[in-house]
């Protein structure tokens, strides 16, 4: 299968320049045509026979370049999905310039959380998808009523917090790696607070037993986490009620905070806090991609075989799986 990508740039109307531009890279299943446009400019048509394409929007971790998630975007596109990654340099904190997943801190305070979206980039990204649906190689080929949110670290928190049909009716599922909903002390929360999630859509939370970034960040929440996976586990058990059998917790044995990224970039973010992974990283990534892909196929594509395969693969004896829960 051929996977291609296109680029877009969109403005954030309520952001101040020069921090008011988001750059998108959109991956899609393609079909080589041999046309002059293809030969001269590298513009390859989408594989229309596989449309309409459901869409994944992936939120990066803070100061994690979108290219670190390209491997996953390609894997998901090979399953027939369109995947959007993006880069937004902005000031989420005054005077601190960073590559951000787009976090609206105003909506994370104790007085506002749950009353509106915390994803400042998401409305702009959804509007950009409407533009792609109107013209270009993906025109008329997108299923904009079935959009999945995914993310890593802070971007994963953005994904699961905003999987709320009250705010975004086109969102139908979410997944996150190395993310949780512990409330920060600086935002005004008491020690050890776990914030509730919308609990309205299929959800997959994934964490690693060697996540040093989470393990060493407990002071932000007024606690010392018992294990690296404690806040992820608590988010699954306390932030959602479940009851539909479409919420999953998958803890990977030996995976660290950056096991979802490839190639690894030691120059930005906080990788110096991380523990070494104790399992082969390529095997961990393959398991991640397969679990996420089957989750989407099962609960968004409503493929019964994928549902059976997902449950079988996660419940089976696999040395890479530390624990698995569903509710």
pLDDT of residue 92: 77
User: Does residue 4 have a pLDDT over 90?
Assistant: yes
The edge-to-edge listing of strands for the beta sheet with 321-326 is: 2-11, 21-30, 82-87, 53-59, 142-152, 171-177, 203-208, 247-252, 321-326
Q: pTM score, two decimals?
A: 0.97
Nearest residue to 61 (alpha-carbon basis) of 28, 99, 30, 97: 99
Residues 83, 76: Cα–Cα separation, whole Å: 7
pLDDT of residue 51: 97
pLDDT of residue 95: 84
Q: What is the DSSP string of 45-79?
A: PB-GGGPSEEEEEEEPPTT--GGGGHHHHHHHHTT
- Cβ atoms of 101 and 60 within 8 Å: the answer is yes
Window from 38-42, 136-140, 144-148, 301-305 with minimum mean pLDDT: 38-42
User: Does residue 205 have a pLDDT over 90?
Assistant: yes
Residue 37: pLDDT band by 50, 70, 90 thresholds? confident
Residue 107: phi and psi, rounded to 5, are -90, 5
Query: pLDDT tens digit string along 269-326?
Result: 999 999 999 999 999 999 999 999 999 999 999 999 999 999 998 888 899 999 999 9
Burial of 18 (0-12, 13-18, 19+ CB in 10 A): exposed
CA gyration radius for the chain? 19
**In the chain, what are the domains?**
2-326 (3.40.50.1820)
Instruction: Report residue 281 as tokens.
Output: 């990283």
Give how far the C-alpha of residue 310 lies from the chain's centroid of Cα atoms, to the nearest Å: 19
Nearest residue to 53 (alpha-carbon basis) of 114, 144, 122: 144
């Amino acid at each position: 299968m051929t996977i291609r990508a296109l680029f877009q740039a969109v403005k954030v109307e309520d952001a101040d320049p020069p921090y008011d531009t988001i750059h998108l890279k959109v991956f899609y299943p393609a079909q080589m045509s041999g046309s002059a446009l293809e030969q001269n400019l590298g513009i390859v048509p989408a594989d229309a026979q596989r449309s309409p394409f459901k869409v994944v929007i992936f939120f990066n971790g803070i100061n994690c370049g979108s290219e670190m998630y390209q491997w996953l975007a390609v894997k998901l596109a090979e399953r027939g999905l369109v995947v959007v990654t993006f880069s937004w340099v902005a000031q989420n904190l005054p005077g601190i310039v960073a590559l951000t997943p787009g976090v609206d801190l105003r909506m994370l305070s104790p007085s506002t959380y749950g009353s509106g979206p915390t994803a400042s980039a998401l409305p702009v990204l959804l509007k950009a998808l409407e533009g792609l649906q109107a013209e270009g190689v993906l025109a008329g080929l997108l299923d904009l009523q079935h959009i999945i949110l995914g993310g890593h670290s802070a971007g994963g928190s953005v994904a699961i917090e905003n999987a709320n049909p009250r705010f975004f009716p086109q969102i139908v599922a979410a997944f996150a790696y190395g993310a949780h909903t512990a409330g920060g002390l600086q935002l005004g929360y008491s020690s050890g607070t776990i914030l509730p999630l919308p609990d309205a859509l299929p959800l997959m939370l994934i964490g690693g037993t060697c996540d040093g970034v989470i393990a060493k960040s407990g002071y932000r929440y007024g606690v010392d986490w018992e294990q690296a996976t404690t806040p992820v586990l608590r988010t699954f058990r306390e932030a959602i009620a479940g009851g539909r059998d479409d919420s999953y917790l998958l803890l990977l044995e030996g995976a660290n905070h950056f096991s979802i990224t490839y190639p690894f970039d030691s120059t930005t973010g906080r990788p110096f806090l991380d523990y070494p992974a104790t399992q082969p990283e390529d095997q961990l990534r393959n398991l991640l991609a397969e679990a996420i892909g089957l989750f989407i196929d099962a609960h968004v594509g409503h493929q019964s075989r994928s549902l059976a395969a997902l449950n079988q693969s996660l419940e089976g004896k696999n040395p890479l799986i530390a624990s698995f829960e569903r509710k």
